[in-house]
Chains A and B, each alone.
Chain A
């Protein structure tokens, strides 16, 4: 028993010595002995970990896909939510721009008492051009009240209820506004043609009016304040057999894109 023990101790010591002998230059090039041990361990590790790696791989690439699919769905949902939010922000941005424009217009015209309103709906028929706005008699609107936008004249109020008003747009065939050509001061009546254009009527064909001339309200009859932009002359047709020229006017306001308007309550007198 004691002899055997001695042999074993001797064997271990010999092995240790051999290992030391092989371990020259430990921090330089790896000694063969250490290298063998490490290589052996690597193979052992590979063999032992291979089944675990296989299971982990199966888990991550197949069973784990369930999680990926859920995550993908969640990300898509999140993306959709963000898209909707982006659209809403764009709308807010556009509204902000429009309201800023209206505010600037109001500040630029202190002589006019303006009541802001927003468009509710448009005429249900193709022929008539009216619009419903969200302010009525309680908001200071009344029949015959001029309605304008920062771009120019929109129309006038034809009927009111406590919280809504119906506006007859200048493009309606029933609309007529006293107007004047800004450059020549030639007076006429601007009438709607039913489409998107207007006519300047009762202007003699001999008058010097050309395309591009600006047409503004004349202030006659007192309905509209003087000098509000209506549009610009698009075409002038002169027939020698007719007294009046046929003048087509393009409105400054794009009625199709109308959103915010002002009711002109009354003219504020300038005080010295």
Chain B
């Protein structure tokens, strides 16, 4: 039980560092660029951590994200929970441990989240958003396996096994 708490706190610590990268450091380098670190962490949760421990983390992380967005309350948690459930479903269908699949899923979910947000709010993708979107997709795709591996490393260090 204590190990599960330690794992959750460590995950949250990593997520807060990633959040800082997302909202302050990356936009200060190139303002329109948005990179999603959470998707990779969600993939890592599904691959390495039991559902019962991964789900609370995703809820907590998506609620934290909400503080840094103008999206209406509940929209981002809804989208990230959908990503979590979809990845959990895919676990039974495809081999999620493969880094290329993780990268592909990172890109796919990045596009899905951006598209869903745009569709729900009625916004349209304009010309000046296309290049940041592609760059964000590429970076999220590259970072997703890294974040998933990080979750795996944590899981290994705490010795948690899937029941």
Interface residue ranges, B against A (CB under 8 Å): 19, 22-24, 27, 31-32, 34, 65, 68-71, 76, 113-114, 117-118, 121-129, 132-133, 136
Q: Do residues A121 and B122 form an inter-chain contact, with CB atoms below 8 A?
A: no
Say yes or no: is A173 at the interface (Cβ < 8 Å to chain B). yes
Task: With both chains docked as a complex, state the minimum distance between the C-beta of B147 and any C-beta of chain A, in angstroms.
Answer: 16
**Chain A positions 243 through 272: 1 when the CB is less than 8 Å from some CB of chain B, otherwise 0:** 000000000000111000000000000000
Interface size class on chain A is 20 to 34
Contacts of B65 in A (CB 8 A): 124
Task: With both chains docked as a complex, state the minimum distance between the C-beta of B36 and any C-beta of chain A, in angstroms.
Answer: 8
6 nearest A-B pairs in the assembled complex, by CB-CB distance = A256-B31, A130-B70, A195-B126, A128-B70, A121-B23, A194-B123
Say yes or no: is A114 at the interface (Cβ < 8 Å to chain B). no
The contact of B68 among A124, A126, A127, by CB within 8 Å, is A124
Contacts of B118 in A (CB 8 A): 127, 194
The listed residue with most B CB atoms (<10 A of its CB), out of A124, A158, A166, A194, is A124
Contacts of A122 in B (CB 8 A): 23-24, 27, 31
Task: With both chains docked as a complex, state the minimum distance between the C-beta of A87 and any C-beta of chain B, in angstroms.
Answer: 14
Say yes or no: is A228 at the interface (Cβ < 8 Å to chain B). no
Closest to B66 in A: A124
Question: Which A168-183 residues have C-beta < 8 A from chain B?
Answer: 168, 172-174
Which secondary structure characterizes the binding site on chain B? helix
Question: Which A110-138 residues have C-beta < 8 A from chain B?
Answer: 120-130, 132
Q: Do residues A128 and B32 form an inter-chain contact, with CB atoms below 8 A?
A: no
Contacts of B127 in A (CB 8 A): 195
Contacts of B123 in A (CB 8 A): 127, 173, 194
The docked-state distance in angstroms from the alpha carbon of A38 to that of B23 is: 83
Which secondary structure characterizes the binding site on chain A? loop
Question: Which A92-122 residues have C-beta < 8 A from chain B?
Answer: 120-122
Task: With both chains docked as a complex, state the minimum distance between the C-beta of B124 and any C-beta of chain A, in angstroms.
Answer: 7
Say yes or no: is A197 at the interface (Cβ < 8 Å to chain B). yes
Q: Do residues B126 and A174 form an inter-chain contact, with CB atoms below 8 A?
A: no
The listed residue with most A CB atoms (<10 A of its CB), out of B22, B65, B68, B121, is B68
Contacts of B126 in A (CB 8 A): 193-195, 197
Q: Do residues B117 and A127 form an inter-chain contact, with CB atoms below 8 A?
A: yes
Closest to B65 in A: A124
The docked-state distance in angstroms from the alpha carbon of A194 to that of B133 is: 13
Task: With both chains docked as a complex, state the minimum distance between the C-beta of B132 and any C-beta of chain A, in angstroms.
Answer: 7
The docked-state distance in angstroms from the alpha carbon of A97 to that of B22 is: 27
The contact of B27 among A121, A196, A197, by CB within 8 Å, is A121
Closest to B33 in A: A126
Q: Do residues B70 and A166 form an inter-chain contact, with CB atoms below 8 A?
A: yes
Q: Do residues B69 and A125 form an inter-chain contact, with CB atoms below 8 A?
A: yes
Contacts of B22 in A (CB 8 A): 124
Known: A193-B126, A194-B124, A194-B126. A128 touches B31 (CB 8 A): no
Task: With both chains docked as a complex, state the minimum distance between the C-beta of A175 and any C-beta of chain B, in angstroms.
Answer: 9
Q: Do residues A126 and B32 form an inter-chain contact, with CB atoms below 8 A?
A: yes
The contact of B128 among A128, A158, A174, A196, by CB within 8 Å, is A196
Contacts of B124 in A (CB 8 A): 193-194
Task: With both chains docked as a complex, state the minimum distance between the C-beta of B75 and any C-beta of chain A, in angstroms.
Answer: 9
Closest to B38 in A: A124
Apart from A120-B24, A124-B22, A194-B126, list 4 A-B contacts with CB within 8 A. Answer: A122-B27, A194-B118, A194-B125, A255-B31
Question: Which A217-234 residues have C-beta < 8 A from chain B?
Answer: none
Q: Do residues B69 and A128 form an inter-chain contact, with CB atoms below 8 A?
A: yes
